[in-house]
Amino acid sequence: MEDTTDKKSGLLRSASLENLILISGAAFFYSLVFELPATPFFWESDHLIFAYEGWRMYLGDTMYRDFFQFTFPGSQLYYAVMFSIFGAKHWIINATIVALATAILFLTLRLSKSVIEGPFAYLPALLFAFFGFRWFGIDGSHRMFSPVFILLAALIVIRSRKPLNLILAGVFCGITSFFTQQRGFFAVCAIALFILIEGIVEKREFFGIGKDIFYLGAAAVISLAALCAYFVFAAGPELFWESAFVYPSNWYGFSKYNNSEVFFLVLGRAASFTNLSGAFAFVMHLVYSFGIPLVYPLFALAFFFRISRDKWNEWKKVVLIALIGFATTYSNVAPDSFRLFQVSSPALILVGFLISRITLAKQFDRWLVTAAAAGLLLLSLYLGIRMQTNWEMVYWQSPSGKLAVFPVEQIERYTYVLENTEPGEEFFEVYEPYIYFPFHLRNPTRYGQIWETDYTRPEHVAEVVSDLEKSRPGLMLWDVDYNRPDDQRRSGDHLAPLARFVQQNYEPVGKVYQVADRRIQVWKLKADD
């Protein structure tokens, strides 16, 4: 009777701790994206690209045909559906960030508890929520959607390798690729490799192993094909193939933000800190840039060192998590600290698992985890309060709702656009499509990102010039460095025709704003045009 009572009491304590972590995490996430009580912060990030494209779909455009994109359409479709239900409001982006982060936090907890015994099972979730999210997780793009489904696939395979579970895991991997092409593919490969290893170790028949891998792979392919079918037929198979496969394989990596160069670019920017807050952020960059990739070789060493003394059953579940984490981490073609954080849950679980195997750590597990939790919760409380009180925010009454904007000089360019345009008006933003959706402005071209590398093809530039000649929007946000003489253009820079068109037909308004490594200025249509 006492054993049953103690077990129930332990389960209740465990559930209470989980709920406390989830509620604290959700509250912390909320404090980072909403000014209390409910005004969304304007975070200038990639989720604005996908919200903009979802908004175009909401207005009737067809992805790939009416606007260019090379990702699969999961994020855009999600936002189009949300706008159809709730209206084209900016709070949807911020609420999505909270929902995605809370889902990843919950799944990290469930996975961690399935492979780690004792208090260290809570450590990975605490690290994800309170030791990195503030700097790297405020993102409502495909990169935060896909980890949710990867973790779901891992959780369902850990619970059982029955055919239904493998089919469901394959479906989740298919959905993963619907958001981020390569991640679902690599997740399937990782799970298939685990099934093969498990089958060999446990001396299963190869026919049974092959059948399980078939269930997994077929479910992934069929589900992804079903999700993409509408877009294939609406845009045409050839255009879909060219956009989603040919372009990214040939040209995506020509942007310095989309290849290994970004690793050092982001670290270099973080290293140029000027205050204590910046120094702490730099430490976070170091931890996630180097720590996450290093976890997997360290785990492999620990596994091969211990497996001769331990039982396979003690390790096999965490081997699955390691394989999935390794695949999704090392398949990043642009491995900066942001992208590495977004797929960090498996690595954090491995950290918790390895610490839990250390004899000395076991002796003080409750004290260590309590101290870590207290420290991280205090840090998050400080960060949340600082986010709410440290700035005298600027407020935009935008067509997508009231927005709280951080008072930096660079946002003056957007304020000018808001004050000098009307919703539905055509406008052109050359470098990133960040302001179309919040201000409900229309891009008259098919292209949202124009860069001076082979990322932007000559035919893209020709189409943009043709579209701008027809529409002549009254205002644009222009990168003044694109105006360089033709003989100073580097290989791969195809922007000369566009720069000539802009300089012939537009003139600058006001100051040049330094935005990261870009010099952005408002330009308006010349009066005589």
Q: Are 69 and 63 in contact (CB under 8 A)?
A: yes
The count of structural domains within the chain is: 2
Kindly state whether residues 363 and 416 are assigned to the same domain: no
401 belongs to a structural domain: no
pLDDT given at position 113: 95
Give strand pairing partners of 401. 398
Task: Using the structure block, give the residue that is written with the tokens 């973790």.
Answer: 151
Average pLDDT over residues 398-425: 96
Least confident span in 125-134, 208-217, 306-315, 320-329: 306-315
Least confident span in 6-15, 27-36, 310-319, 381-390: 6-15
Kindly state whether residues 447 and 483 are assigned to the same domain: yes
**pLDDT tens-digit readout, 467-489:** 999 999 999 999 999 999 988 99
Kindly state whether residues 354 and 457 are assigned to the same domain: no
The DSSP element (H or E) to which 45 belongs, if any, is none
Kindly state whether residues 87 and 196 are assigned to the same domain: yes
pLDDT at 81 over 90: yes
DSSP sequence for 436-477: HHHHTPBPSSS-S---SSTTS-HHHHHHHHHHHHHH--SEEE
Report how far residue 179's alpha carbon sits from residue 146's, in angstroms, rounded to the nearest whole number.
6
Backbone angles phi, psi at 464, to 5 degrees: -65, -45
pLDDT given at position 1: 47
Q: Are 415 and 394 in contact (CB under 8 A)?
A: yes
Kindly state whether residues 352 and 458 are assigned to the same domain: no
DSSP sequence for 242-303: IIIIIHHHHTGGGSGGGSTHHHHHHHHHHHT--SHHHHHHHHHHHIIIIIHHHHHHHHHHHH
Within 10 angstroms of residue 497's Cβ, the number of other Cβ atoms is: 14
Kindly state whether residues 362 and 467 are assigned to the same domain: no
391 belongs to a structural domain: no
Residue type, 427: F
Backbone angles phi, psi at 495, to 5 degrees: -90, 0
In angstroms, what CA-CA distances link 181 with 99, 307, 331, 459?
22, 34, 11, 24
Provide, rounded to the nearest whole percent, the portion of the chain with pLDDT above 90.
84
Average pLDDT over residues 292-298: 96
316 belongs to a structural domain: yes
Backbone angles phi, psi at 443, to 5 degrees: -80, 120
pLDDT given at position 6: 52
Kindly state whether residues 456 and 416 are assigned to the same domain: yes
* pLDDT interval class at 517 (50, 70, 90): confident
Provide, rounded to the nearest whole percent, the portion of the chain with pLDDT above 70.
97
214 belongs to a structural domain: yes
Least confident span in 167-176, 318-327, 362-371: 362-371
pLDDT at 277 over 80: yes
Kindly state whether residues 354 and 415 are assigned to the same domain: no
**Structural domain that includes position 170:** 2-384
Report how far residue 23's alpha carbon sits from residue 298's, in angstroms, rounded to the nearest whole number.
32
Kindly state whether residues 138 and 271 are assigned to the same domain: yes
Least confident span in 9-13, 24-28, 99-103, 276-280: 9-13
Last residue of a domain, one of 384, 417, 438: 384
Kindly state whether residues 217 and 319 are assigned to the same domain: yes
Question: Token digits for 519?
Answer: 């010099």
29 belongs to a structural domain: yes
466 belongs to a structural domain: yes
Report how far residue 422's alpha carbon sits from residue 414's, in angstroms, rounded to the nearest whole number.
13
Average pLDDT over residues 71-83: 97
404 belongs to a structural domain: no
In angstroms, what CA-CA distances link 157 with 84, 348, 407?
35, 19, 47
Q: How confident is the prediction for the chain on average, in pLDDT?
A: 93
CA-closest candidate to residue 318, choices 81, 91, 158:
158
Kindly state whether residues 165 and 85 are assigned to the same domain: yes
Least confident span in 119-128, 301-310, 479-488: 301-310
Task: Using the structure block, give the residue that is written with the tokens 């290849």.
Answer: 259
Kindly state whether residues 328 and 244 are assigned to the same domain: yes
Average pLDDT over residues 56-80: 97
36 belongs to a structural domain: yes
